[in-house]
């Protein structure tokens, strides 16, 4: 894959929406063959109760699979700005459901408010959003935000989670996790020089050799380090391809704006 996927996402959705109103792809163009979280293993929401499936009724997925998100307060979830291009009423947040194919289990909530980082789309980075739930997931463990940019250090053992593409490495629409060590800003500045990687606002994580990565449909979901929300799945060129690691919005860079929204 070539091109700047984070912007292509918006384009792909727009094009498909024009072609058939009401039917859109996952948050981004798919790269065949398909896998959910590539090279990961199955996880249960019992272990990660703050994991949220952000479904969308305009999604082309039969189960509405669309993006991920993280519960950071009983009534607030953090996701990616590029995940919130659809009308507010089309979203459903799902907590506690391991298998989206079943259509049951766990708790659901509609969205009463969407805040998208106002700089998203104007400058690179800023791929973060905070959504307010109409029905708070009371009593569910939340993840605190990472507020220190020093956490973005080469070799940090971060883990990402999602229900997205597996490229054949796992079952579709089931929660998966995968360890993606931090590769560091210097590496992504190099390999993504033409893609506008932002050191002060993004995290470069995965494997130089490829094989394990987040993928389409995982966007908006968490990258977790030390029990905190360290990153938000944002973009990459293809998935799990050598030399093209995953890029995650760096939560610490946006922590103050996020906290304002979370407390509001």
Q: Which residues contact 123 (CB under 8 A, 6 or more apart)?
A: none
Tokens for 121, please give them: 């789309």
Nearer to ligand ARG, 166 or 216 (CB): 216
Angle (nearest 5°) at CA 194 between 188 and 198: 50
> Per the residue annotation, which of 59, 61, 82, 253 is the catalytic one?
82
> Per the residue annotation, which of 127, 185, 213, 218 is the catalytic one?
127
Nearer to ligand ARG, 125 or 164 (CB): 164
Q: Which residues contact ligand ARG by CB under 6 A? A: 5, 9, 27-28, 164, 213-219, 233, 235-236, 239, 246
> Per the residue annotation, which of 61, 214, 219, 234 is the catalytic one?
219
Distance between CA atoms of 39 and 41, rounded to whole angstroms?
A: 7
Provide, rounded to whole angstroms, the least separation between the CB of residue 208 and ligand ARG.
13
Q: Which residues contact 52 (CB under 8 A, 6 or more apart)?
A: 68, 69, 70, 71, 77, 79, 93, 94, 95
Asked if 126 is an active-site residue, the reply is no
H or E element at residue 247: strand 246-250
Q: Residue with CB nearest ligand ARG?
A: 236
Residue 227 burial class via C-beta count within 10 angstroms: exposed 0-12, middle 13-18, buried 19 and up: exposed
Distance between CA atoms of 185 and 153, rounded to whole angstroms?
A: 9
Asked if 82 is an active-site residue, the reply is yes
Nearer to ligand ARG, 55 or 75 (CB): 55
Asked if 59 is an active-site residue, the reply is no
Provide, rounded to whole angstroms, the least separation between the CB of residue 244 and ligand ARG.
7
In this structure, the chain runs to a length of 264
Distance between CA atoms of 205 and 89, rounded to whole angstroms?
A: 33
- Residues with a catalytic annotation lie at 82, 127, 219
């Amino acid at each position: 894959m070539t091109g700047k996927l984070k912007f292509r996402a918006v384009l792909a959705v727009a094009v498909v929406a024009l072609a058939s109103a009401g039917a859109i792809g996952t948050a981004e163009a798919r790269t065949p063959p398909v896998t959910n979280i590539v090279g990961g293993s199955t996880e249960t929401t019992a272990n990660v109760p703050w994991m949220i499936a952000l479904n969308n009724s305009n999604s082309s997925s039969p189960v509405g699979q669309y993006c991920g998100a993280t519960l950071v307060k009983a009534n607030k979830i953090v996701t990616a700005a590029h995940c919130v291009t659809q009308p507010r009423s089309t979203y459903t947040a799902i907590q506690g459901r391991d298998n989206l194919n079943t259509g049951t289990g766990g708790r659901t909530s509609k969205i009463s408010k969407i805040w998208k980082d106002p700089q998203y789309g104007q400058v690179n980075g800023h791929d973060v959003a905070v959504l307010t739930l109409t029905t708070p997931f009371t009593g569910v463990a939340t993840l605190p935000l990472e507020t220190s940019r020093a956490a973005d250090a080469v070799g940090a053992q971060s883990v990402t989670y999602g229900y997205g593409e597996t490229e054949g490495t796992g079952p579709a629409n089931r929660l998966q996790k995968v360890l993606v060590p931090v590769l560091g800003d210097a590496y992504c500045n190099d390999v993504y020089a033409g893609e506008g990687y932002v050191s002060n606002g993004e995290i470069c994580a995965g494997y130089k050799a490829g094989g394990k990565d987040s993928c389409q449909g995982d966007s908006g979901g968490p990258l977790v380090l030390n029990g905190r929300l360290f990153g938000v799945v944002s973009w990459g060129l293809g998935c799990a391809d050598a030399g093209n690691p995953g890029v995650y919005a760096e939560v610490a860079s946006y922590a103050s704006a996020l906290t304002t929204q979370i407390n509001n």
